[in-house]
Chain A
Amino acid sequence: MATTAVTGGKPAGSMRRLRATMHRRPGLRVASLLALPMTWMVLVYLTPLALLFVTAFWTTDSFTGLTKRTFSLENFTDILTEPAYYTVVMRTVGIAASVTVLCTLIGVPMAFFMARVASARWQPVLVALVLTPLWASYLVKVYAWRTILAPEGPAESWLGASPGYGLPAVVLTLTYLWLPYMILPIYAGLANMRGSFLEAAADLGSRPWRTFRTVVLPMVWPSIVAGSIFTFSLSLGDYITVQLVGGSSLMLGNAIYQNFSVSLPFAAALATIPVIVMVGYLLAVRRSGALDNL
């Protein structure tokens, strides 16, 4: 090691001094590491987000659709006094929540099997099988579900019944789309869990279900929450799936999308709703340690 130290780096004196300083001051090292990423995030992400929020307080010229930069609360009062927006927010959050619950119910047993039952040889194969659909096009997967649920389509001819197009179809399709985002964090959480915990619990006479409830569940909970951030958020903003398999009632994303091209301020005001919902969700789950499990 010492020899390499001599031949390896030959930092100039000033560099050496800089390094010495850095070594003594971890704060400086953190700052130098974070300077670039933080600048990027502030410039490319936070600023546009803040500007969008500012735009929500502007209005639109009624004819040309160009933005007029005068302060007004009009957009927000419009949204708050229109019951249809309350309905659509409730519907959208309901869909996102249903998708998250379904993904959990389907994902937990799968992840558990992958991590705890499958042999070491099969584990990577199963992970690959779960990962592969992530690479298939989102649009094509939605389209596949449209084919499946179509009248006289596969669902009807094989299962004898199809939910048809509508909200159940939206929930089903979104569940399908985001399932891998739920399975993978749970699998990672379970795979990293020490087997001895479970064995100890079993040795102490716990029945499997009780072991699951008192030992496993609390430990995978952060992973489930981590997965739920994806399934919930991805469903919350979706506006394409509902157009392909939904019925006559659309989602919040559609309202934002429809207004975006005509009245950016109104779209921006609508867009603050999912932001508030998601920020609330993230803050609520931050304590569970889920953010380290993403």
Chain B
Amino acid sequence: MHKSRLLKAAALGSAVVLLAACGGSTDSGDSGTTPGGSAYAGPVGEGEGTLNVLAWPGYAEDGSTDPAIDWVTPFEEETGCQVNVKVFATSNEAFTLFQSGQYDVVSASGDASLRLVYGDLVQPVDTSLVPNYADILPDLKDKAWNTVDGVNYGIPHGRGANLLLYPTKQYPTAPDSWADMWEADSPIKGKVVPYNDAIYIADAAVYLMATQPDLGITNPYALDQTQFDAAIALLEQQKPLVAYYWGDLVKQGQDLATGTTAQSQGWQLTANLTNAETADAVGTVKPKEGTTGWSDTWMVKKDTASINCAYKWLDHLASPEVQAEIAEYFGEAPANAKACALTVNTNHCTEFHAEETGYWDDVWYWTTPTEKCLDGRTDVTCVTYDEWVKAWSTLTSA
């Protein structure tokens, strides 16, 4: 009798499997739909009571990390919208979490934002309902990673460049090129620290744009198969030079400060934090080949039940005061021009080149690579992001 019971259990198990395997076609899976839907008609009224926020660490601080760092509680008191914050570590994680449909707003970097738009997960945003949008730097408005076919899908949040970090002890004059992080005859073998994420493939492409113009790369996120293979070959050439791929900026900064590692691709934030401990230990430079960077966008879930709270949040986060707080806490350039007058460190905006339009000309903001080449080429197809990730996991597995 127990025999039959066990068999029944087994049968039940396999039935569920079959059901799932066959029933699939009716469920979701239809992808690549052109973005649709319309923006909230407004006006922004009474809050719905709660707002689930998905954010990069440091973007939605509610005092739980540091009681002094808190711009969520004032928002809650002002609007009555109770905020639940979930932070994520990578754009991929953000995308996966947002797919669950449990978050109303998300701070999406360019390598996630388009996927969210084309995955039909977010809705257009009517910027006229966000008063603070007026003060956002024109440089960041209507860009490929936040606007599709002229429709805005969010409010720009802030930006930063991925810089070359180096120990000042070892380099009295700043290096001006990425060459020692890439070339096989590099003098710093075993001391190179690249970023541990598939998006780093774009950094290889940026270097190739400068050193191998024959490849014809015009956008590091629009790589056809030949260009992509060249980028991967460059990464493979780099691998013997690599100490480790960083995922933890404390370790990254510490190792640079002690001179255990010699060059790393990273953030101004890392240098600032390390230098707070040991003055002037780590220098940063934007090498002559140009670099990658990020520009983030606050986006709203397609069918959110908290649309009013969401709009209030977008406006709150775009306000000069909050922009100033976040820019300093996180270490990036604010998107709101008025924030520059409010930072505690009066030089913050200068240090982070917030208003220098020219500085950002050779900074390639993270963008999701798509099959349809982002540089406008139509005669070839480009390598898609899942292939980037697969290639990255192959590289770090070998």
**Chain A residues near B (Cβ < 8 Å):** 25, 27-28, 30-31, 34-35, 38-39, 42, 46-47, 50-51, 54, 58, 60-69, 78, 82-85, 87-88, 146, 150-152, 165, 243-244, 246-250, 252, 254-255, 258-263, 266
Contact = CB atoms under 8 A, between A and B. Distances in A.
Contact of B244 (A31, A78, A165): A165
Nearest to B115: A64
B384 A63 contact: yes
A249 B398 CA distance: 6
Contact of A262 (B2, B260, B386, B398): B386
Contacts of B393: 254-255, 258-259
3 smallest beta-carbon distances between A and B, as pairs: A69-B24, A261-B92, A88-B397
A254 B115 CA distance: 23
Interface of B is mostly: helix
Given A30-B2, A243-B247, 10 more contacts: A27-B2, A42-B12, A51-B16, A64-B119, A65-B119, A67-B28, A243-B196, A250-B396, A258-B393, A259-B393
B225 to A, nearest CB: 13
A205 to B, nearest CB: 50
A248 B20 contact: no
Contact of B248 (A28, A87, A243): A243
B67 interface: no
A248 to B, nearest CB: 4
A48 B214 CA distance: 49
B75 interface: no
Contacts of A250: 396-397
22 contacts: A27-B2, A38-B6, A38-B9, A60-B386, A61-B31, A63-B370, A64-B32, A65-B115, A69-B21, A78-B390, A84-B398, A85-B394, A88-B398, A146-B251, A165-B243, A248-B239, A249-B396, A255-B393, A262-B95, A262-B198, A262-B386, A263-B390
Given A31-B1, A46-B13, A261-B96, A249 B31 contact: no
Contacts of A54: 17, 20-21
Given A62-B386, A262-B389, A69 B370 contact: no
B258 A152 contact: yes
Given A65-B115, A84-B395, A260 B96 contact: yes
A63 B14 contact: no
B364 to A, nearest CB: 19
Q: How large is the interface on B (under 10, 10 to 19, 20 to 34, 35 or more residues)?
A: 35 or more
Interface of B: 1-2, 5-6, 9, 12-14, 16-17, 20-21, 24-25, 27-29, 31-32, 90, 92-93, 95-96, 99, 115, 118-119, 196, 198, 239, 242-245, 247-248, 251, 254-255, 258, 260, 368, 370-371, 384-387, 389-390, 392-398
Contacts of A87: 397-398
A63 B389 contact: no
B31 A68 contact: yes
Given A69-B25, A165-B244, A261 B32 contact: no
A18 to B, nearest CB: 15
Given A63-B118, A64-B119, A262 B29 contact: no
A237 B322 CA distance: 41
Contacts of B371: 62-63
A254 B2 CA distance: 41
Given A42-B13, A69-B25, A31 B387 contact: no
A248 B244 CA distance: 4
Nearest to B381: A62
A47 B32 contact: no
Nearest to A62: B384
Given A54-B21, A69-B25, A247-B244, A47 B397 contact: no
A46 B17 CA distance: 10
Contacts of A31: 1-2, 5
Given A150-B254, A261-B95, A263-B386, A64 B397 contact: no
Given A63-B370, A150-B254, A50 B16 contact: yes
Nearest to B25: A69
A249 B25 contact: no
Contacts of A50: 13-14, 16-17
Nearest to B259: A151
Contact of B28 (A27, A60, A66, A255): A66
A131 B27 CA distance: 48
Contact of B32 (A63, A85, A150, A254): A63
Given A30-B2, A84-B398, A247-B243, A61 B13 contact: no
Contacts of A46: 13
A259 B370 contact: no
Given A47-B17, A50-B17, A151 B115 contact: no
Contacts of A247: 242-244
A249 B386 CA distance: 21
A25 B2 CA distance: 11
A65 B384 CA distance: 10
Nearest to B91: A261
A262 B197 CA distance: 12
Given A62-B384, A262-B92, A254 B396 contact: yes
A123 to B, nearest CB: 40
B395 A263 contact: no
A51 B20 contact: yes
A25 B20 CA distance: 37
Contacts of B92: 258, 261-262
Nearest to B388: A262
